[in-house]
Amino acid sequence: ENFFAIWTNAPLIANATDTGSAELSHQFCTWAKDTLAAGLDPAVSSFPSNVYVFDFFHKLADSAGMLAAQYASDEWDSHPNAAATELVAPQFVHEIFDAAIAYENLVGVQERTSQAPGSFRLKQNYPNPFNPQTTIEYRVKEPCMVSLRIYNLQGREVSEPVHFYQQPGVYKIDFNGENIPAGIYFYEVRMRDYYGVKKMIILK
């Protein structure tokens, strides 16, 4: 599957904009990186995990939200100069590389269910998004070892609420995310030949 990168817009030189426009651009780029890309915007909800937002704006902006003078072609030209390229290009390569590797770690850890709908079952957690507690419900068809794990977007396990032998029945696990940073997580349940993975969002 393809992996994509989106750049936020570059800031404008002071002579080409005003403080109101600069602040609006600052707010938009902050939202794109910290809210939209994190899947925390209630109007948009989830954000594709194979898309990375590169925050070009804040790497070149000064404290007023305008293009820092040392990165402008001249005082009237908002095109970033060679110094800006030298600053940003290595960061872009490193960030995209790290994000792509993190996405590869998640390939296969997407929302999915094996072919056993009438037997074992994993349901969507509720509430979702949540802060700080949510309920994860699953059904065990026959006696078996059950594992429930929580993963972050980097594919790292952050918790394993369940890892023991269980009898048939419906189980509801109260998961507390108080000590986990806000963001998107995946929870995976495995029992016999069944596996299921779903996404949940922690708000702070």
Q: What is the pLDDT of residues 76-87, one digit of tens each?
A: 888 899 999 899
For residue 141, being part of any structural domain is answered with: yes
User: Cα separation of 64 and 54, whole Å?
Assistant: 20
pLDDT tens by residue, 38-55: 778 887 767 777 788 899
Reading the block at residue 187, the tokens are 């929870």
**194, 178 Cβ separation under 8 angstroms:** no
For the chain, 204 residues long, the average pLDDT of each consecutive 10-residue run is: 82 88 89 83 76 90 90 88 90 81 57 50 91 92 90 85 88 91 89 86 88
State which of 107, 139, 168 marks the end of a domain.
107
For residue 112, being part of any structural domain is answered with: no
The C-alpha torsion from 156 through 126 and 171 to 181, rounded to 10°, is 30
pLDDT of residue 169: 86
Q: How many domains does the chain have?
A: 2
In one letter, which amino acid is 35?
T
Domain residue limits at 163: 121-202
